[in-house]
Amino acid sequence: MLNHPWIVYAKAAIAVRVERARNAPSKGASAVEWVIITAIIAGVALGLATLIQNLVESQQAELENTFGGGGGGGNGQRDR
């Protein structure tokens, strides 16, 4: 039964594929490296966005304190 041509062919095909997989350059490691690099870049971008947001909000609060809370309603008319 193990000498049937289909079984011999299947064993040979599997052996060839296993040998190719063992000797092939590792493409999976490259994908993992790209994921790690992308995660690092995303983390840095998120950190910078948070830092910029905090700086803008602090400057906004400083301006509001300096000018007493903002404008006069925005209707284009001056108080008399």
Residue 79 forms part of a structural domain: no
Residues 19, 23, 28, 32, CA torsion sign: positive
The pLDDT tens digits of the residues spanning 57-67 come to 999 999 888 88
> How far, in Å, are 1, 37, 58 from residue 34 at the CA level?
47, 5, 36
Q: Residue 2: is its pLDDT beyond 60?
A: yes
Domain count, the chain: 1
- Domain of 11 in residue numbering reads as 5-69
Q: Is residue 49 part of a domain?
A: yes
Query: Tens of pLDDT along 5-44?
Result: 888 888 898 888 888 877 877 666 777 888 899 999 999 9
Higher model confidence: residue 71 or residue 7? 7
Element (H, E) at 18: helix 5-23
One-letter amino acid identity for 74? G
